[in-house]
Structure 1
Amino acid sequence: MKSGLNMGLLRWLAIAATASTALALTPEGLISAPRRAEAIPNPSGDVAVFSQSQYSFETHETTSKWNLLDLKSGDIKLLTNDSDVSEIVWLGSDNSTVLYVNGTNADIPGGVELWVSDISDFANGYKAASLPASFSGFKVATIDSGDVRYVAYAQSYANGTAYNEQLAAKPLSSARIYDSIYVRHWDSYLTTRFNAVFSGTLKKTESNGKATYKAEGGLKNLVSPVKNAESPYPPDSSSSDYNISPDGKWVAFKSKAHDLPRANYTTSYIFLVPHDGSKTAVPINGPDSAGTPKGIKGDAGSPAFSPDSKKIAYWQMEEESYEADRRTVYVYTLGSTETIPSLAKGWDRSPDTVKWADEDNLIIGVEDSGRSRLFSLPADASDNYKPKNFTDGGVVSSFYQLPDSTYLVTSTAIWTSWNVYIASPEKGVIKTLGTANEIDPELKGLGPHILDEFHFEGNWTDIHAFVIYPENFDKSKSYPLVYYIHGGPQNSWLDSWSTRWNPKVFADQGYVVVSPNPTGSSGYGEELQDAIQNNWGGLPYEDLVKGWEYVNENFDYIDAENGVAAGASYGGFMINWIQGSDLGRKFKALVSHDGTFVADAKVSTDELWFMQHDFNGTFWGNRDNYRRWDPSAPERILKFSTPQLIVHSDLDYRLPVAEGLSLFNILQERGVPSRFLNFPDENHWVLNKENSLVWHQQVLGWLNKYSGVGKSNKNAVSLEDTVVPVVDYNP
């Protein structure tokens, strides 16, 4: 107890020490602050490259550049501000030569070019290849001859030809015809095009002691020979879905099961194919594969070759219709027909990233208790092995091994958008090289002191919650509550930066934000996560009620009686559920973003496995389960009375816009103060910078209006700050 009191005192001293210099994080500051990507080290571990973009509300344009980070001093210097440079990859063992993607093509409209340059004289590189479409996600391997073999992805036609939007013929009719489900997915209608991994080679030649690289041969589509395969898989379309072996001979890629209906199953396979495409790709874990573990039929991903190119590590889920099932690491030996062994299968966590440390050990990224941490894992670990983490706070976004077997880690936290440090399994975090809150004026004053956490007794187990403090926080004062409800539903609030639902932006309006992780939350073990199945409005809601009561009774500086609540996706559903529940009367205002409202409308989603898993069956066979947690039930509608803002965009096909309109119609007819915010060009997320500003102005303005913050804080956002006209035909 004494130790806890001392830690609390230190936290308050830290808050007091920084209060005089802290600046409020405004919506404009959040959106226009620099956004930095992962730091990618050169082979010797001397420097790393990273990209940076920044939006200006003065010019309404985004500028981009690439920087060099000195891994000894932490100094940052400009490499290039050429906005056409979209990717940079280090070539072979050369510490200064890079391959970069020029996002334009002088000869082929809509294509890209590959250039080779020395970082000491970046502007004077040379073109190594001209590619006929918009390729990205480049990965390379240098073979014994010095040649560079690479893979990248682009959209593909069924015949294997890369799709070039600028050169594609325009159809005379806009009709779309479908004979199978999966008509649309997330924000796009499916077409006959799909993502595909292509392979290519750059031939190395030497003259007068200087090496040059030029394209040799054409590109080979490694995915299209397998009918219905696609890699990388939407909506993320991440290059983590494929990899090239260090010896350049093999490529592994993930695809949703090509032999099953995509809308009904999460099943994925890891395919193996020669880099030259001389054989058709085959799944190593398919239903007819010799080594497929019995009963393992779920999603799979993150294929990674061992340093000697003899093994592939990947993760896979067990269930074939549960997108949030626990992942387990497997290690396949090339050419083996033995059952593929699993690692640490009894461990109650779910790895999402897999890399090799050496031939005998792996490093895995894992969501764990509100963070995303790195763990070390032996490549022959038994089922009961418990991996050891060597990073702690924040969320790791990437990591690369350095020559001394330490790791260059890029991460974020609630208090910083970019944090780069060196860590090792033996010593943990060794050295911080750079963090955005110490670099960017927009983030001045942010730090770990803005964040706290607590546990409370939920319906059936202890529940974790984050607390985020406002600018110049004073515990002797009282601040209205923002009750933050996460999406998923199998998801969680993490100690991570967000450019959309950033809790610090909400807090700096004059609130204390509480972000609970109730039943259904990930990163706390299977039991907590899986208990939300067929229980959307049950245990999670009861946890949230108990969390509100705990805050109201235990935090004198939080005014829960004048609080507000907001959530998106499943969090939007929960806000809609709260509106018709007793908890809804505890809030002055609500905001739901892309939440379901009418139970029967759930069948209009794209990924049918999602609803059929979470509601224990089909829409026709288990209709009562779908309706059990129906926010639109008549008896619930009669309780609606709390002012509510509804946000729903036209391109959200996972949760169609009719859901938001239906709720708005009901609130209006019931006479409940309400507003509908719609973006015709956004999907499940509001990504356009100008749209994001309007989103923040409306969401914060709505909450501020009803909580009273707008009157007590002269810098708080107002609904009138938005220049978009409001349509109102009420008499």
Structure 2
Amino acid sequence: MNITRTLFATVMALTLSAGSAGAQDNTVNIGKSNIRLASDRMTPEALWAMGRIASAEASPDGKQIVYQVGYYSVKENKSHQVICIINSNGKNNRRLTTVAASETDPTWINGGKNIAYLYKGQIWMMNPDGTERRQLTKSAADIEGFKFSPDGKKVILIKSMPFNEIIKKNPDDLPKATGRVVTDLMYRHWDHYVESIQHPFVADVTAEGIVNGEDILAGEPFECPMEPFGGIEQLAWSTDSKAVAYTCRKKTGRDYAVSTDSDIYLYNIESRKTVNLCKPADYKNVEVDATHTMKDQKVNSAENLKNNPGYDTNPQFSPDGRYVAWQSMARDGYEADRNRLCVYELATGKKVYVTESFDSNVDAFCWNADSETLSFIGVWHGHVNMYKTNLDGDVRQLTNDWADFVSIAPANDGGKLLALRQSMSAPTDIYIVTPGKDVKKTAVRRITEENKHILDQLTLGKVQERWVKTTDGKDMLCWIMLPAGFDETKKYPTLLFCEGGPQSPVSQFWSYRWNFQIMAANGYVIVAPNRRGLPGFGSEWNEQISGDWTGQCMKDYLSAIDDACANLPFVDKDRLGAVGASFGGFSVYYLAGHHDKRFKCFISHDGAFNLESMYTDTEEAWFSNWEYDDAYWNKKKTAGAVKTYDNSPHKFVYKWDTPILCIHGEKDYRINYNQGMGAFNAARMKGIPAELLIFPDENHWVLKPQNGILWQRTFFNWLDRWLK
């Protein structure tokens, strides 16, 4: 069976003929879906019909790859996660999941004889051909992640447990009460109230199955993995299976809310003792002012930087067991600090940062078999490529693709690497990379074509690279996406894309919402600048935006669109729109009061509108402190703080004169929905044409299929109304 043509959802939203849910139940007849698109242009339905590869892992002998794919049903408004397997040469691709419920997190165990996976909150095991499925755990609490020890005798289990440190437990005699008594900060995170936290348990693997295990953070009110996006990658087994390294920010309440200080801890299985690898045993937390940036506080002094006060995450042991490596940010309170690769020698406690010559982020990494080198991925000039470093910090580039590698792992085949890769013109597929002596000799081979049957029917837009001079004489990379079926003799409506973050790269990303190809399919040119404040152009470029949200980065936006209007004959300067999400949404709100009638319409998704309100609305207070410098009520604010608050978009509504669409999710606790409602209400009270698309059940993102399609239709209806 060709799994790339076996979809949970099609453009016509075909549904499952579901059997019962158990792994031993009747199979589900998903069937082959020979998708035939109504036209050769990308549509929201075509996007949601695509399979989304989530993970991939090579077998110990390197001959097979097990991976996870998600398919979506628009009619059922849900996803179906399935497990697939393929030979490393790209042949014999087949689906192992045959049930209606999702199966996730596949990994090789028992030396490659079996595949373990999650099904209905429990760990199951099957043969590589999908036969002989057996349940290994019967945990009362759902297992949300797991990792087997190298010797196969133990396993880490991630489970959620009740947490009433911040939100008090309601009285037992009021079981229907919905109120929450909150006693400190961080009472909600990302999209949920914090009434449970995850803990790692170490359990024995026996012939009868897996026991419940022992909580290695027993009695500690700290989460591991860390909210909101941490997973099993934040824990690692030592090579000898005698210890677990884990990531944890051992803070709660206000201390947690203002700090990014997470550390790597080493837990000994036999002694049950824990050692902090980042800080000395006698380390005492440094007192901080919770209403002021940590840039100039003692916690980030030269002396304390030796103690790793920033984010330290995702440990991995070297194959020979001598070292632990992890991703490390230097400064506390700065979530977008440069992510370096730290190598810790277990015998001596010596720490070495081995990517100092790479002036950008280490996005992911893996040890190579020699235990003397590591491979990693990082962004440079709008592309996420592979690199290699030795323990002396000599960094060498491995690939030079016009694409984004989004994961990296050993392929277990003579130094080859396994990766997921995407671009602005192609969703994620699995690749095998064979490093060469130089970039030109590296071989990059795709082994899956998950969405070829859809992409082959589409006419896609072409991507161009353009370098633009900024107002301060710098060179700025802009991506230009041409409309599908581009005709150089025509003029097209054009969109300025404003990136979020604020420090996230405009790289060769593929998005299922902010998708440049669907914009191109609707007849728009896209101008996407790597404005000030984005990684991949050196630390100075990346950090310039902090404390200067409305300065040079906004000039960079206007430089990009003005250059396009002046020098690209196919850009219609009389039909310009500006769109963006998060910081990009903030950018749109600000530009609405400062665009000098360049734009005919705006779209802001989950953007900050009133920065004084935003300072106390957001849950991760460290972000506002670092970016704004001070709480708005501090009398002795820095000049940067004064500039930030004085230039908040809400103070320039009096200059608004252009139609605007505001989009927001009510479960967005990063940028609360009152920001979007405030902007919409202000526009309407001024008599400006405006619409508000509000999602009661979505967070900072839009994750449900029908909401996603409503988002796309509303987005393009608004643009077409004002630009066509």
Q: Equivalences for 1:197-212 in 2 at 5 Å?
A: 197-203=200-206
Percent identical across equivalent pairs? 25
Distance 1:68 1:587 in 2: 49
Deviation, 1:430, is 3.6
Distance 1:479 1:433 in 2: 37
Structure 1 position 231 matched with structure 2 position 239: no
SS in 1 for 2:688: coil
1:662-719 Cα offsets, whole Å, 9 max, x none, are: 11111111110001110111111111111111111111110111001xxxxxxxxxxx
Q: Equivalences for 1:301-380 in 2 at 5 Å?
A: 301-336=313-348, 338-358=349-369, 359-380=371-392
Distance 2:305 2:331 in 1: 13
1:509-539 Cα offsets, whole Å, 9 max, x none, are: 1111111110111222111111011111110
Structure 1 position 185 matched with structure 2 position 198: no
1:411 equivalent among 396, 421, 425: 421
Which amino acid letter does the alignment assign opposite residue 93 of structure 1?
G
Which amino acid letter does the alignment assign opposite residue 403 of structure 2?
G
Alpha carbons of structure 1 residues 179 and 334: separation in structure 2 relative to 1, 3 Å: same
SS in 2 for 1:550: helix
Structure 1 position 255 matched with structure 2 position 248: yes
1:477-519 Cα offsets, whole Å, 9 max, x none, are: 2211011111111112120111121111111111111111101
Q: Equivalences for 1:420-435 in 2 at 5 Å?
A: 420-426=430-436, 427-435=441-449
Structure 1 position 678 matched with structure 2 position 694: yes
- 2:721: which partner in 1? 705
Alpha carbons of structure 1 residues 142 and 613: separation in structure 2 relative to 1, 3 Å: closer
Distance 2:235 2:209 in 1: 22
Higher mean alpha-carbon deviation, 691-700 vs 130-139, is at: 130-139
- 2:648: which partner in 1? 630
- 2:137: which partner in 1? 129
- 2:525: which partner in 1? 512
- 1:49: which partner in 2? 66
- 1:163: which partner in 2? none
Q: Equivalences for 1:141-152 in 2 at 5 Å?
A: 141-143=149-151, 147-152=152-157
Distance 1:637 1:157 in 2: 45
1:572-629 Cα offsets, whole Å, 9 max, x none, are: 111000100134x111110001111123112221111111111223333325244132
SS in 2 for 1:115: strand
2:108 equivalent among 90, 105, 109: 90
1:445-501 Cα offsets, whole Å, 9 max, x none, are: 467x72221110113321111122222122222211011111111112120111121
Deviation, 1:292, is 8.8
1:112-159 Cα offsets, whole Å, 9 max, x none, are: 332222123x2432223322222132222332xxx4322131212369
Deviation, 1:216, is 5.2
Distance 1:73 1:442 in 2: 19
Alpha carbons of structure 1 residues 292 and 578: separation in structure 2 relative to 1, 3 Å: closer
Distance 1:115 1:467 in 2: 47
Q: Equivalences for 1:390-409 in 2 at 5 Å?
A: 390=399, 392-401=401-410, 402-409=412-419
Alpha carbons of structure 1 residues 281 and 560: separation in structure 2 relative to 1, 3 Å: farther
Q: Give the conservation status (yes or no) of the 8 Å contact 2:41–2:459.
A: no
1:156 equivalent among 148, 152, 161: 161
Which amino acid letter does the alignment assign opposite residue 432 of structure 2?
I
Q: Equivalences for 1:222-621 in 2 at 5 Å?
A: 222-225=216-219, 227-258=220-251, 261-275=255-269, 278-286=271-279, 288=281, 294=306, 296-336=308-348, 338-358=349-369, 359-381=371-393, 385-390=394-399, 392-401=401-410, 402-426=412-436, 427-437=441-451, 439-441=452-454, 444-445=457-458, 450-460=462-472, 461-583=474-596, 585-603=597-615, 604-621=617-634
Alpha carbons of structure 1 residues 124 and 319: separation in structure 2 relative to 1, 3 Å: same
Which amino acid letter does the alignment assign opposite residue 680 of structure 1?
P
Q: Give the conservation status (yes or no) of the 8 Å contact 2:122–2:142.
A: no
Alpha carbons of structure 1 residues 230 and 292: separation in structure 2 relative to 1, 3 Å: farther
SS in 2 for 1:404: coil
Q: Equivalences for 1:678-697 in 2 at 5 Å?
A: 678-697=694-713
Distance 1:265 1:629 in 2: 26
Q: How many residues matched?
A: 648
Which amino acid letter does the alignment assign opposite residue 434 of structure 1?
T
1:152-194 Cα offsets, whole Å, 9 max, x none, are: 312123699xxxxxxx999443332233222322212222x21
Alpha carbons of structure 1 residues 510 and 372: separation in structure 2 relative to 1, 3 Å: same
Structure 1 position 65 matched with structure 2 position 76: no
- 1:209: which partner in 2? none
Which amino acid letter does the alignment assign opposite residue 553 of structure 1?
A
- 2:14: which partner in 1? none
Aligned residues: CA RMSD: 2.6
Which amino acid letter does the alignment assign opposite residue 364 of structure 2?
T
SS in 2 for 1:39: strand
Which amino acid letter does the alignment assign opposite residue 399 of structure 1?
I
Distance 1:284 1:346 in 2: 24
Alpha carbons of structure 1 residues 591 and 287: separation in structure 2 relative to 1, 3 Å: farther
TM-score by length of 1: 0.84
Alpha carbons of structure 1 residues 659 and 61: separation in structure 2 relative to 1, 3 Å: closer
Q: Give the conservation status (yes or no) of the 8 Å contact 1:436–1:443.
A: no
Distance 1:692 1:660 in 2: 18
- 1:729: which partner in 2? none
Distance 1:363 1:333 in 2: 18
1:307-334 Cα offsets, whole Å, 9 max, x none, are: 1223110121111111101122111122
Q: Give the conservation status (yes or no) of the 8 Å contact 2:600–2:723.
A: yes
- 2:148: which partner in 1? 140
SS in 1 for 2:360: coil
Distance 1:481 1:158 in 2: 49
Alpha carbons of structure 1 residues 516 and 159: separation in structure 2 relative to 1, 3 Å: closer
Q: Give the conservation status (yes or no) of the 8 Å contact 2:364–2:408.
A: no
Q: Give the conservation status (yes or no) of the 8 Å contact 2:190–2:669.
A: yes
Higher mean alpha-carbon deviation, 172-181 vs 482-491, is at: 172-181
Higher mean alpha-carbon deviation, 423-432 vs 283-292, is at: 283-292
Distance 1:400 1:508 in 2: 35
Distance 1:158 1:440 in 2: 47
Unmatched runs of 5 consecutive residues or more in structure 2: 1-37, 166-171, 284-302
Q: Give the conservation status (yes or no) of the 8 Å contact 1:303–1:354.
A: no
Structure 1 position 196 matched with structure 2 position 208: no
Higher mean alpha-carbon deviation, 471-480 vs 513-522, is at: 471-480
Deviation, 1:360, is 0.5
Alpha carbons of structure 1 residues 30 and 443: separation in structure 2 relative to 1, 3 Å: farther
2:668 equivalent among 642, 648, 652: 652
TM-score by length of 2: 0.85
Unmatched runs of 5 consecutive residues or more in structure 1: 1-20, 104-111, 161-167, 204-212, 709-731
Alpha carbons of structure 1 residues 229 and 680: separation in structure 2 relative to 1, 3 Å: same
- 1:663: which partner in 2? 679
Alpha carbons of structure 1 residues 169 and 477: separation in structure 2 relative to 1, 3 Å: farther
SS in 1 for 2:208: strand
Deviation, 1:58, is 4.4
